[in-house]
Amino acid sequence: MICLAILFFNYADKNISKIIFLILSILSVIEFGRILKIGKAENIVMIFSALFVFLYEDFSLEKKVLIVILFDLILFFSWRIFKDKIDSKFIEYTAITMFFGIIPFYIMYIIFNTNKLSLLYVMLLVWIYDMAAYFTGITLGKNKLVPNISPKKSWEGLIGATIAVFAFSFIYYYNDLFIARDIILLAFLVVFLAPIGDLTVSLLKRNNLIKDSGNIIPGHGGVLDRMDSFIFLVPIIFYIGVL
């Protein structure tokens, strides 16, 4: 994964990056449909919603999101009314898919083409967090963090990951690649938001009795299983202006 990321950051241009992030977004949309057990018709509509957000350039992201959500909800409600069918799962699916499966990947595409090094730095922080949490949890983990949602995660893993993220952040600080305020803020955001994103997807999977979001990555599950740490982190750091 890291080798592929390095190749991507070195050689991808704007068009290639749009295609890659769009594919990741569409796969996430499909995986959320699987997790939430939504119909294929709604899945197809949300895939076209992702295409609209990525390919239509004349509107701001906020305007595109508003248009998509309003259009999709009107369409989904109309379909239920026409069928005289009592079912409101599509409301949850529309919101979750838009805010967790489309927006984060579109923002990553924007950041990639405006501040590539910053996006790479954030991704490195998340990977360091994940690896440190895993190895610390395996070796020292005794106290479960949220056993009903993710039985393997521990408080020791969380503490170990936090130490690793801040240690790596200070290395960047001493190399003068970012100002101190942004270094500290990014470290705090990663430590807080990366596990929240991870556990949010785990909660959805547990609630719907699904182990992995997909099987596109052999041995690792789906796109959401690898990218869930970014679903809250990327929009927040983008909109508060850290990157």
| pLDDT tens, residue order, the chain (243 aa) | 666 777 788 878 899 999 999 999 999 999 999 898 888 889 999 999 999 999 998 899 999 999 999 999 999 999 989 988 888 888 999 999 999 999 999 999 999 999 888 898 899 999 999 999 999 999 988 899 898 888 889 999 999 999 999 998 887 665 555 567 778 889 999 999 999 999 999 999 888 878 766 666 655 568 888 899 999 999 999 998 876
- Whether residues 236 and 121 fall in one domain: yes
- Whether residues 75 and 37 fall in one domain: yes
- Whether residues 85 and 47 fall in one domain: yes
For residue 135, the model assigns a pLDDT of 92
pTM of the model: 0.90
Q: What is the DSSP letter of 217?
A: B
Last residue of a domain, one of 79, 99, 114: 114
- Whether residues 148 and 168 fall in one domain: yes
> Residue 3 domain-assigned?
no
For 112-154, what is the HEC assignment?
HCCCHHHHHHHHHHHHHHHHHHHHHHHHHCCCEEECCCEEEEE
Q: Which domain holds residue 166?
A: 116-243
Last residue of a domain, one of 67, 84, 114: 114
> Residue 2 domain-assigned?
no
CA distance 28 to 127: 19
Q: Please name the residues in contact with 58: beta carbons below 8 A apart, sequence gap of 6 or more.
A: none
Q: Of 192, 6, 214, 209, nearest to 101 (Cα)?
A: 214
> Residue 8 domain-assigned?
no
Q: Give the chain's length.
A: 243
- Whether residues 106 and 122 fall in one domain: no
**What domain count does the chain have?**
2
